[in-house]
């Protein structure tokens, strides 16, 4: 039965319609925020998936270009693989809902969000997040929700909830926040060096709004929610785990105490073999539980060490960062390169500079059409010692790349200051925790090595969390988590920023939520860490961006030309601009506003192209001299292209100081000649002279113009002389006039 529920979020209506669409799904809603419309559905398999040791949740966010009135580009004309924005949105929806499902559930659960229409003032990302929460909450799938989400902006120091499109353009941050009624369960942020305390207050403000949305969702559940189904638990039976714990607790405590990941892994693998034998001796078939039991035992040992004894497996203090090192300029010929290492996490980063025409073109549901700065992240199998062939980037790689990209954008120079497209690539060569934040540090170094004038260095660090299972108000926060602490801890709280403030946040949690006290402690811990990395590691290695670009990087000269001159610079069919490119070897890009960029590794070629373009856009002055090319010969003179796209006429009398009977006696098509502007008539036609660029012969006397003899009329009213000759002269004149008309249409100067 169709039901409609309505509330208001940030002054705009939020409408939920149920019981009409997608009724075969376990839960479905049509969520409308303003005119943004999303169909959110959730479906679960009837039986658990066999042979897996994780909860199989899939979250999809499907962008359809009809939602913004567009037809997809390309030959196929239908949507293909998800865009990066769609993948990132899927991850943002996934992270807050995943911890609220039972950890021992093995039934496939698939969440789908179909974007039907987009109102740019009402975020489809938030609409999908809330729609997903409602769909799961009213379904029969076990879940501890609901969650709610909002976007936080910052304008003039004040928090703005769900900023409009115009507000987003002037906001100092874009934060996606997800919360339950009691806790914060996801933060994804990009910010313009926002102070920690301002960010914390914005999160607190957003949580208050989320609480009201959660109450709205609970009201819907109370009215139409389904009873939750029962399922077969996939957890290790208590009696088996008790046996493994008794046998291996002390052994595991010894196995995990090492600062070398490979040593720990080998120790744990050896202990698992012992447990396999132990269980198999106890009862045939019980050994199948060994991997899960060992994982659970290792998790409890690591957490116990941290929480009760404040001991980390590698011997560090809770606020101590692993050994740090870095280098720059490690790879020849590339435009910038770096190596950053924190413990056994190692990142090589390469920076490439290119003309702005190389910026990435985007086709999506928002109003962004291009992306000037691109950060790509690659995570090969060898980085963790796995024999795994390389594949195209997955959601994790795309997400980590976007996080590092978002971290650096606030410190990049503007296009006017530095007219380049910029790409940095992080190659993870060793991984033992927090490679995304290592990528932030490595990117900073390679950008500076490439000579990109960033405002300040950016560093990233993560903090971990252990929460008392008996009292969630009792917690422990620690700095710079490595792989084992990420696997067995309760959160990965990543923060990147400068000495002035935060530029990005990403929070992954495995518990039902975080309190503001935990977030405050994490902010304090990560601020200390990023300042230490900047001041003790990054700046001592390279104190400022290099003053000169790599000799292999393009030099880009920018200039502004009048909009009404763009046509002249481009020429018919691109003839003029292509000729400049061919003559100089420079790459030239121009936009609709008249901003022009000349790119070439050779600065002299760029200056040559600039000089030519300045000549095109400037009106030539009488007396100016140019090097030109003869383009056409006429009986009365020669046309010379003295600036690309601009021609003038050298009359036969201006070809040389001596008398010239035929134009061909002095010049031919294709000849390079020096000309002087001697006249610009009231129609803008230009008369040139070759002879005035040459020395005047000694004793030269200007000839007087020849006088025409008067002709007497004959008795028939005509002129004396050969009629046929007169008719021929008139015919020739007619031909010349017609030719002249054609030439006038082409903007050429014709004289008789």
Q: 427 with 503, same domain?
A: yes
Residue 583, in any domain of the structure: yes
CATH of the domain at 285: 1.10.10.400
447-485 tens-digit pLDDT: 999 999 999 999 999 999 999 877 778 899 999 999 899
Confidence (pLDDT) at 747 = 43
Residue 709, in any domain of the structure: yes
End position of a domain, from candidates 255, 278, 309: 309
CATH of the domain at 716: 2.40.50.140
Q: 530 with 381, same domain?
A: yes
213-233 tens-digit pLDDT: 999 999 999 999 999 999 999
SS3 category, 645: coil
CATH of the domain at 47: 3.30.230.70
Q: 173 with 146, same domain?
A: yes
Give the integer Cα–Cα distance in Å for 532 and 11.
43
Residue 229, in any domain of the structure: no
Q: 21 with 62, same domain?
A: yes
Confidence (pLDDT) at 73 = 82
Give the integer Cα–Cα distance in Å for 479 and 528.
9
Domain hosting residue 207, numbered range:
3-224
Confidence (pLDDT) at 735 = 44
Asked if the bond preceding 146 is cis, omega within 30° of 0, the reply is yes
Comparing CA positions, the residue from 434, 437, 490 lying closest to residue 465 is: 490
End position of a domain, from candidates 485, 516, 541: 541
Confidence (pLDDT) at 591 = 87
Residue 318, in any domain of the structure: no
Give the integer Cα–Cα distance in Å for 661 and 652.
8
Residue 233, in any domain of the structure: no
**What are 376's strand-pairing partners?**
425
Q: 77 with 200, same domain?
A: yes
Q: 207 with 244, same domain?
A: no
Confidence (pLDDT) at 603 = 85
Residue 547, in any domain of the structure: no
Q: 513 with 649, same domain?
A: no
CATH of the domain at 607: 3.30.1370.10
Q: 157 with 126, same domain?
A: yes
Residue ranges for the chain with pLDDT beneath 70: 703-752
Residue 66, in any domain of the structure: yes
Q: 449 with 596, same domain?
A: no
State the total domains in the chain.
5
CB 56 within 8 A of CB 144: no
What would the two tokens of residue 128 be? 């999908």
Bridging pattern class, strands 184-194 and 502-509: antiparallel
Q: 490 with 596, same domain?
A: no
Q: How many residues does the chain have?
A: 752
Q: 411 with 465, same domain?
A: yes
Confidence (pLDDT) at 712 = 52
Is the Cα dihedral 689, 691, 696, 701 positive or negative? Answer: negative
Residue 316, in any domain of the structure: no
């Amino acid at each position: 039965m169709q039901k409609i529920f309505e509330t208001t979020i940030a002054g705009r209506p939020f409408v939920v319609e149920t019981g009409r669409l997608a009724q075969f799904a376990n839960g479905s809603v049509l969520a409308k925020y303003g005119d943004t419309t999303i169909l959110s559905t959730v479906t679960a398999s009837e039986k658990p998936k066999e042979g897996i040791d994780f909860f199989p949740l899939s979250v999809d966010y499907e962008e359809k270009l009809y939602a913004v009135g567009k037809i997809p580009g390309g030959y196929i004309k239908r949507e293909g693989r998800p865009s990066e924005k769609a993948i990132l949105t899927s991850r943002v929806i996934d992270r807050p809902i995943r911890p609220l499902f039972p950890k021992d559930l093995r039934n496939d659960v698939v969440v789908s969000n179909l974007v039907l229409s987009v109102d740019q003032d009402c975020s489809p990302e938030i609409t999908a997040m809330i729609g997903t929460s409602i769909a799961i909450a009213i379904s029969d799938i076990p879940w501890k929700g609901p969650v709610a989400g909002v976007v936080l902006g910052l304008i003039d120091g004040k928090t703005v909830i769900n900023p409009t499109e115009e507000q987003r353009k002037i906001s100092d941050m874009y934060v996606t926040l997800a919360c339950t009624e009691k806790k914060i369960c996801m933060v994804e942020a990009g910010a313009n060096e926002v102070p920690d305390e301002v960010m914390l207050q914005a999160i607190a403000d957003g949580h208050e709004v989320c609480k009201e949305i959660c109450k709205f969702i609970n009201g819907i559940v109370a009215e139409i929610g389904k009873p939750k189904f029962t399922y077969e638990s996939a957890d290790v039976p208590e009696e088996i785990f008790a046996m493994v714990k008794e046998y291996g607790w002390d052994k595991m405590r010894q196995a995990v105490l090492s600062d070398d990941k490979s040593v720990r892994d080998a120790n744990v693998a050896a202990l698992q073999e012992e447990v396999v034998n132990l269980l198999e001796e106890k009862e045939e078939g019980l050994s199948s539980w060994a991997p899960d039991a060992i994982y659970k035992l290792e998790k409890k040992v690591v957490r116990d060490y941290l929480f009760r004894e404040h001991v980390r497996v590698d011997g560090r203090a809770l606020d101590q960062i692993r050994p740090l090192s870095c280098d720059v300029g490690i790879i020849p010929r590339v435009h910038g390169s770096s190596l950053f290492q924190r413990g056994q996490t190692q990142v090589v980063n390469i920076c490439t500079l290119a003309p702005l025409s190389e910026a990435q073109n985007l086709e999506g549901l928002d109003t962004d059409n291009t992306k000037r700065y691109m950060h790509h992240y690659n995570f090969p199998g060898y980085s963790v010692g796995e024999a795994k062939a390389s594949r195209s980037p997955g959601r994790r790689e795309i997400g980590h790349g976007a996080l590092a990209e978002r971290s650096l954008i606030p410190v990049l120079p503007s296009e006017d200051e530095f007219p380049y497209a910029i790409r940095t690539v992080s190659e993870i060569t060793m991984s033992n925790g927090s490679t995304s934040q290592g990528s932030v540090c490595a990117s900073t170094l390679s950008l500076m090595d490439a000579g990109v004038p960033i405002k300040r260095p950016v560093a990233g660090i993560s903090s971990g969390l252990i929460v008392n299972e008996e009292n969630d108000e009792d917690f422990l926060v620690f700095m710079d988590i490595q792989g084992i602490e990420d696997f067995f801890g309760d959160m990965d709280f990543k923060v990147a920023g400068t000495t002035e403030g935060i530029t990005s946040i990403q929070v992954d949690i495995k518990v039902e939520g975080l309190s503001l006290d935990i977030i405050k402690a994490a902010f304090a811990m990560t601020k200390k860490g990023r300042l230490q990395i900047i001041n003790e590691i990054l700046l001592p290695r390279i104190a400022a961006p290099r003053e000169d670009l790599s000799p292999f990087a393009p030099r880009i000269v920018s200039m502004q030309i009048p909009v009404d001159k763009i046509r002249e610079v481009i020429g018919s069919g691109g003839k003029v601009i292509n000729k400049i490119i061919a003559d100089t070897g420079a790459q030239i890009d121009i936009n609709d506003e008249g901003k022009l960029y000349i790119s070439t590794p050779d600065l002299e070629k760029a200056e040559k192209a600039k000089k030519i373009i300045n000549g095109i856009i400037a009106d030539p002055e009488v007396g100016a001299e140019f090097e030109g090319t003869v383009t056409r010969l006429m009986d009365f003179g020669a046309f010379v292209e003295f600036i690309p796209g601009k021609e003038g006429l050298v009359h036969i009398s201006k070809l040389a100081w001596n008398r010239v009977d035929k134009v061909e006696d002095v010049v031919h098509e294709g000849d390079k000649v020096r000309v002087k502007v001697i006249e610009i008539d009231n129609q803008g036609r230009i008369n040139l002279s070759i002879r005035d660029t040459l020395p005047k012969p000694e004793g030269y006397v200007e000839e007087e113009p020849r006088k025409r003899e008067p002709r007497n009329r004959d008795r028939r009213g005509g002129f004396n002389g050969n009629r046929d000759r007169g008719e021929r002269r008139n015919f020739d004149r007619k031909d010349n006039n017609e030719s002249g008309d054609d030439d006038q249409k082409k903007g050429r100067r014709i004289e008789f």
